């Protein structure tokens, strides 16, 4: 897409804060206004568009405006299907990464040391104690725990749900995703915790380039989710 604007700036409106491109308000893909609930978030979105493409006539890519895309997801896709979004995210609790331990005793010991504190947090803070298994054999979770996780997801507004929608799949863990979006866990640490097995394998076999690229994308998704929530809280 060719950059057609010189200036991106923020203006306060009745619906929140708008981003103006050369004085004209941005709109969502569906045609509705891009009305953001916080000035700091709106300023960050405007900064993306001010930098995208370099200058008028330059070429911008969707990757240049990640906050815009995530905010748009919240305002259009999540808002139009909130109950379905909650259900889809909450289902990750049925197969949470933290509940599946390696058969290798050295890796399993590392997982227990690093993951058990966050399962403890889930039990205490979310009222959702989860069961652990070894290997790939599925483990069924108590209905009460899954219901508690569903409530924890449903407590978020559409922006929180959009953040969970990128963080939880990237981490493979609803528990870690809830901790990041709730501000209890730094995104970098959450990504490290979700990558224990890959790190363990790399100690013996070296870095796999494809895996490194995939993990980089996942780290960026988790960081983006955390940044959205931090901007909204500012």
Dump pLDDT digits (tens) for 155-192. 999 999 999 999 999 999 999 999 999 999 999 999 99
- CB half-sphere exposure, 23, CA atoms < 13 A: 0
CA gap 166, 81 in Å, rounded: 16
Please state, in angstroms and rounded to a whole number, the distance separating the CA atoms of residues 189 and 186: 5
- E strands along 22-108, which residues? 24-25, 100-101
CA distance 10 to 21: 9
Q: Is 0.85 topped by the overall pTM?
A: yes
pLDDT in tens, 104-143: 999 999 999 999 999 999 999 999 999 999 988 899 999 9
Q: Domains plus CATH for the chain?
A: 1-54 (3.30.2180.10), 82-233 (1.10.3580.10)
Cβ contacts of residue 199 below 8 Å, gap of 6+? 192
């Amino acid at each position: 897409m060719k950059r057609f604007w010189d200036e991106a700036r923020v203006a306060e409106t009745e619906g929140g804060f708008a981003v103006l491109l050369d004085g004209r308000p941005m709109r969502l893909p569906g045609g509705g206004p891009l009305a953001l609930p916080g000035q700091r978030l709106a300023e960050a979105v405007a900064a993306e568009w001010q930098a995208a493409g370099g200058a008028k006539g330059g070429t911008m890519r969707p990757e240049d405006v990640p906050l815009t895309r995530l905010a748009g997801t919240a305002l259009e896709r999540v808002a139009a299907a909130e109950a379905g979004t909650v259900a889809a995210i909450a289902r990750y609790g049925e197969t949470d990464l933290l509940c599946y331990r390696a058969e290798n005793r050295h890796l399993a010991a590392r997982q227990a040391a690093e993951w058990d504190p966050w399962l403890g947090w889930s039990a205490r803070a979310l009222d959702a104690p989860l069961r652990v298994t070894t290997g790939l054999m599925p483990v069924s979770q108590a209905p009460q725990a899954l219901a508690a996780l569903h409530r924890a997801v449903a407590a978020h507004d559409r922006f929180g749900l959009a953040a969970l929608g990128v963080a939880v799949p990237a981490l493979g863990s609803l528990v870690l995703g809830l901790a990041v979006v709730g501000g209890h866990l730094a995104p970098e640490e959450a990504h490290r915790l979700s990558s224990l097995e890959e790190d363990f394998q790399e100690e013996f076999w070296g870095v796999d380039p494809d895996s490194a690229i995939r993990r980089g994308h996942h780290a960026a998704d988790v960081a983006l989710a955390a940044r959205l929530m931090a901007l909204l809280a500012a």
